[in-house]
Structure 1
Amino acid sequence: MTLQQLAYFVAVADVRSFTRAADLVGVAQPTLSRQLRALEDELGAPLVDRGGRNGPVLTPAGEAVLPLARRMLADADSARTAVAEIVGLRGGRVRVGATPSLCIGVLADVLRVFHAQHPGISLELVEDGSPPLVRTLSRGELDIALVIVPPGGVDPALHITPLLRERLSVASPATQPPPSGRGSLTVRELARRQLVVPRQGYDLREVVQRAFADADVAPRYAVQGGEMDAVLRLVEAGTGVAVVPDLVFVGRPRLRRTVLTPALYRTVALARRADLKPTHAVRAFQETLLSFLAELSAGSGLPGDVQVLHRPDH
């Protein structure tokens, strides 16, 4: 039995819906259901009747466990509060940097979860390309940043924790026929289509241009420039297609994903200055991020071809 399982059970009891309970605690629904089953197996009795006409209904065993679960979670929260006051998590600041595609794909949810867990900590977000973020981090103007690892590696003065390996795919409007009947596009085939690319400074733009150069073909641009959100909106509107990381397809049903061959991958890492000891607040943010990614991976909440490279220590 874990506190996390008890929290999932209480959430289901409060909202009487597995879907809304999963949203409330910030995990994928399969993860919540699996953990609740494990709790029931541990206790030796079902806690929730899943066949109710109006949603999940607590069994007699669930009714008996619910007040005990609430008390245990309250005691755990009191313990966290007492320790947080000692180690400084009741206040402080975390300055986070991230690329626009990561802000769209995963970071917004992580910031939401972290703020709920540590409402006394001030969060500051800087959105930019990886090279500018690395420079800002090196100057001490950021505490931590999610960056793309370049082919030659990053500055050795930074401490790097690889987080994700994700594929780059072709995004096209879902309202139009797929760009390829076989579900994939070569770089040469992509060169015959109108392309939307972000502004200079995006590592993604440089990767795409290098792929065209390696294939000895020239791209045809529909629109150049703009931030990632603008690129995706232009694609949704039918202006052209774009090469984007698989994470951005989350929650965008108006986009169609077509794999690019040969495959292009990139590695996302968490970076901070190696010469500075991270504060308790920064460590807490890192733990929240790693736990969130682990939950997504366990619940099959990661889109396309995305692999989690680092797991939380606990």
Structure 2
Amino acid sequence: MTKQRPKPLDEWDFRAFIALAEERSYEDAARRMAGLHGGYSRQSVQHRIGKIENYVGEPLVRRNVDRRYLLTPAGERVLQIARQVVALHERIGSAAAQPTVWTLACGPHHTQFVALAEDRLRTAEGDKLRVEYLSQPNRAEHQFFGDPVDRLLRNEFHLIIGPAVRRPGLRSTPLYEARLEAMIDRDYPGDRLALADLVRDYEAFLQPRDVRARRVLEDAIAAAGIPDPDPAGRVAMETYETATSVIRLQSERRRPGHGRGRILVVPSDVALPYKVGMVFGGREADRFKWVPIHDGGATLRMETCVTIRDAHQTALRPVIDALRAGVHHLDLGPQGISGAPLTFATPIPSQRT
């Protein structure tokens, strides 16, 4: 009786193998695969790994003492082949199905430079960019790396703007660094606000804790070892709606009979429309000023990137250049989007070994 030939391998076998190699867990690999293709379970991934092992004829993974899965020497060799196969499929798919309109997903606070990029592209190439604004839940830091990134991998989005994404097959390019700023009474004598003074002397209107800027602030307070006996007491209000905080602060200015002043803390890209002379500044804008928050001389900052699929690097270069030109235009104005605009963009490579 002749030995039955193993079943041929396909792209999704290799994608499942890459997911297990990088996640080191069948459950995590299944969640990642479900984001790409839908309908994946632990058993689905195990079936595909078993199919490859049957084809190769030896084990490709082993479980270590902390119940994580590591590659055997044969698995390491197969991983290199798997990445080459998946990259080839992506190049073929990209060449065969190049969209006529690219979809960019971003937050509302990116509108000003995105609109400038749209105008630039429309002049040169016509309407080739469609903008979709992320819902509030998907703008939260942990959610951003879920559904928006998965939709980018599924080719439903072609560009997303937010923090850098370190996933195989994706590439993030920095656009600018936003700095954390405080909206504070114009009589405040300094041109920046020390983190320790913020904690000690002020009640702040803050974004909720699932927002990256809030995490940056709280992490900096903890890392600096600043005494913070009443964290809840230094928070005047938490809201996603910056306009609400600006209106409240403008109307209250200072609570009568209370020793702590009130400020609003948001990143400079969120603050930009509410500054003097800007579209939402309003009549009260000149009663306040915006100052950076610093800790030991270092301003608190957070990087904003545009992320695309590796396969679209060449086709999307004009779009990325237009976005960077929009950022540069804003930073040349009296109210820049970032504290220190980047003069060039260095791509952040995906984590491939």
Which bin holds the TM-score, normalised by the shorter protein? Answer: 0.5 to 0.7
Cα displacement string for residues 205-241 of structure 1 (whole angstroms, at most 9, x for unaligned residues) = 1111222323242261111122344444444444742
* Structure 1 position 125, deviation (Å): 1.6
Instruction: State the match for 2:177 in structure 1.
Output: 165
Q: RMSD over aligned Cα, in angstroms?
A: 3.4
Instruction: State the match for 2:241 in structure 1.
Output: 227
Whole-angstrom distance in 1 between the partners of 2:332 and 2:239: 36
Whole-angstrom distance in 2 between the partners of 1:236 and 1:288: 35
Q: Describe how 1:104-115 pairs up with structure 2 within 5 A.
A: 106-115=113-122
Instruction: State the match for 1:187 in structure 2.
Output: 195
Q: Describe how 1:1-314 pairs up with structure 2 within 5 A.
A: 92-103=100-111, 106-121=113-128, 123-127=130-134, 128-135=139-146, 136-139=148-151, 140=154, 141-149=156-164, 154-172=166-184, 176-178=185-187, 180-191=188-199, 192-214=201-223, 215-217=226-228, 218=231, 220-238=234-252, 240-251=262-273, 252-253=275-276, 254=285, 255-262=288-295, 263-274=299-310, 276-277=311-312, 280=315, 282-297=316-331, 302=336, 305-310=339-344
CA contact (8 A) 1:158 1:272 kept: yes
SS at 2:160 equivalent: strand
Evaluate the alpha carbon distance shift between residue 116 and residue 133 of structure 1 in structure 2; reply closer, same or farther with a 3 A threshold. farther
* Structure 1 position 308, deviation (Å): 1.8
Evaluate the alpha carbon distance shift between residue 189 and residue 294 of structure 1 in structure 2; reply closer, same or farther with a 3 A threshold. closer
Whole-angstrom distance in 1 between the partners of 2:205 and 2:168: 34
Which residue identity lines up with residue 134 of structure 1 in the other structure? F
Whole-angstrom distance in 1 between the partners of 2:239 and 2:335: 30
Whole-angstrom distance in 1 between the partners of 2:252 and 2:168: 42
Instruction: State the match for 2:7 in structure 1.
Output: none
CA contact (8 A) 1:197 1:225 kept: yes
* Structure 1 position 123, deviation (Å): 0.9
Whole-angstrom distance in 1 between the partners of 2:343 and 2:150: 24
Quick check: 186-195 or 249-258, which moved more?
249-258
Whole-angstrom distance in 2 between the partners of 1:210 and 1:309: 28
Q: Computing the radius of gyration over CA atoms, which structure comes out larger, 1 or 2?
A: 2
* Structure 1 position 164, deviation (Å): 1.2
* Structure 1 position 190, deviation (Å): 1.0
Whole-angstrom distance in 1 between the partners of 2:102 and 2:167: 21
Structure 2 residues not aligned, in runs of 5+: 1-96, 254-261, 277-284, 347-353
CA contact (8 A) 1:147 1:268 kept: yes
CA contact (8 A) 1:247 1:306 kept: no
Evaluate the alpha carbon distance shift between residue 297 and residue 185 of structure 1 in structure 2; reply closer, same or farther with a 3 A threshold. closer
Structure 1 residues not aligned, in runs of 5+: 1-87
Quick check: 189-198 or 246-255, which moved more?
246-255
Whole-angstrom distance in 1 between the partners of 2:214 and 2:267: 11
Quick check: 193-202 or 234-243, which moved more?
234-243
Cα displacement string for residues 80-121 of structure 1 (whole angstroms, at most 9, x for unaligned residues) = xxxxxxxx99x8322212234333x53343334444544433
Which residue identity lines up with residue 163 of structure 2 in the other structure? I
Evaluate the alpha carbon distance shift between residue 122 and residue 303 of structure 1 in structure 2; reply closer, same or farther with a 3 A threshold. closer
* Structure 1 position 144, deviation (Å): 0.7
CA contact (8 A) 2:205 2:235 kept: yes
How does the TM-score come out when normalised to structure 2?
Answer: 0.51
Which residue identity lines up with residue 217 of structure 2 in the other structure? V
Figure out how many residues of one structure are paired with residues of the other and give that number: 215
Evaluate the alpha carbon distance shift between residue 187 and residue 122 of structure 1 in structure 2; reply closer, same or farther with a 3 A threshold. closer
* Structure 1 position 311, deviation (Å): 5.8
CA contact (8 A) 2:327 2:337 kept: no
How does the TM-score come out when normalised to structure 1?
Answer: 0.57
Cα displacement string for residues 178-229 of structure 1 (whole angstroms, at most 9, x for unaligned residues) = 4x32232222221231211123431111111222323242261111122344
Evaluate the alpha carbon distance shift between residue 169 and residue 120 of structure 1 in structure 2; reply closer, same or farther with a 3 A threshold. closer
